[in-house]
Amino acid sequence: MLGQEGFVEIQVRHRQGMSIKAISRELGVSRNTVRKYLRAEDVPKAQKRQAKPTKLDDYYAYLKSRVAAAHPDWIPATVLFDEIKALGYTGGVRTVRNYLATLRPVRRDDPLVRFETTPGEQMQVDWGAFKLGNERISLFLATLDWSRYHFGRFVDNERFETLRTCHEEAFDAFGGVPREVLYDNMRTVVQQRNAYGHGLHRFHPGLKDLAQHYTFMPRLCRPYRAKTKGKVERGIGYVRQSFFVPLTSRYRQLDEALDLTVLNVEFDHWLSVTANIRVHGTTGEIPAERLAVEQAAMQPLPRRRLSEGDKPDVAERSFPSTFPVETLQHPLSVYQALLESA
């Protein structure tokens, strides 16, 4: 469109005796455009094009309701794509992602410095805080560094006995024991940092027994450096956005009760059919398939769980009363720079 100035210029030039062909050549517009402007009494208004129907049209209301039900949390586009696909949507995920972007601006994550360990070397562990109705619950999440295979359990407390049971279930699920486990400053893991000198910490007595029984070395992140556990940290965010928020919002919409038992059944199913069989964004491979390689590199499980007896299974193995943070297999200067994806 030429606008008000173009309209006036065409009118003036024509009154000065210029032909339609000359005006068209001078202004670089078609002759039909010149004719249209000469016939008009005012600036022609652009006709609004009607939006073409898309395959997503029938699902706008559903997507808006799901976004509203999850607010202030957010459901990833891939999750909502799977939901409407099950309802009959035949379009692509990009269309869904573009529409959802109109409901909330896309937040760009900071660039990540990635670091890899060898198979069977390390497992990262952390607690994640969640809210189920009015009740505060916690997620124990363990992630094998190399395969990115997840195990998790929602619980109603973070006592050491619960932590120990979750470790035992994780080792059973993984089919072996990694050589080290990385933690931050959980009160059920470390009682006092640097208690016996720099890097020599007073660990929870139960953690010491657990480490001796399963023959792994506990490792600590530096204070306020929880991002050195990037794989599990981002794993908790992944669980929150791709599992917990979609599930709880759906149960709210259906007005159905959701307790810890049902939540963990749903979570086990989601881990087995989604989280651990997806193609991982960093490795480009499927965690469940990489687990088979990692299992071969891990230490074997002991004959029994620690919770089934009073003393560690490995009676003759001597472990120090403290575990140094500085003896990480990789320099802490490297760990401090890490922010790993799940």
Give 173's contacts (C-beta < 8 A, 6+ positions apart).
151
End-to-end CA distance of the chain: 51
> Which residues of the chain carry a pLDDT beneath 70?
1-5, 41-51, 105-116, 191-202, 222-233, 309-342
Distance CA 294, CA 296 (A): 5
> What pLDDT score does 282 carry?
81
- Residue 76 sits in the same domain as residue 197: no
Residue 109 lies in a domain: no
Residue 341 lies in a domain: no
- Residue 93 sits in the same domain as residue 21: no
- Residue 176 sits in the same domain as residue 307: yes
179 DSSP 8-state letter: S
Please give the full DSSP string across 279-325, using - where no structure is assigned.
Answer: PPTTTSS-HHHHHHHHHHHSBPPPSS-GGGSSS-S-SS----SS-BS
- Residue 157 sits in the same domain as residue 66: no
Distance CA 191, CA 294 (A): 31
> What pLDDT score does 318 carry?
43
- Residue 10 sits in the same domain as residue 79: no
> What pLDDT score does 50 carry?
67
- Residue 69 sits in the same domain as residue 212: no
Cis peptide before 119 (omega within 30 of 0): no
Distance CA 71, CA 181 (A): 35
> What pLDDT score does 107 carry?
53
Distance CA 77, CA 94 (A): 9
- Helix H or strand E encompassing 153: strand 150-155
- Residue 11 sits in the same domain as residue 70: no
309-321 pLDDT, tens digit per residue, is 655 554 434 444 4
- Residue 139 sits in the same domain as residue 194: yes
Residue 116 lies in a domain: no
Give this prediction's pTM.
0.63
248-296 pLDDT, tens digit per residue, is 999 999 999 999 999 999 999 999 999 999 998 888 899 999 999 999 9
3-state secondary structure of 143: strand
> What pLDDT score does 5 carry?
67
- Residue 35 sits in the same domain as residue 82: no
Burial group, residue 169, by CB count within 10 angstroms (0-12, 13-18, 19+): middle
> What pLDDT score does 190 carry?
73
pLDDT mean across residues, the chain: 81
Q: How far is CA 24 from CA 4, 9, 12, 83, 224, in A?
A: 17, 11, 13, 54, 69
Residue 44 lies in a domain: no
Range(s) of the domain holding residue 281? 122-335
Residue found under tokens 């008009």: 40
3-state secondary structure of 195: strand
- Residue 209 sits in the same domain as residue 302: yes
Distance CA 146, CA 134 (A): 37
User: How many domains does the chain fold into?
Assistant: 3
> What pLDDT score does 331 carry?
39
- Residue 212 sits in the same domain as residue 273: yes
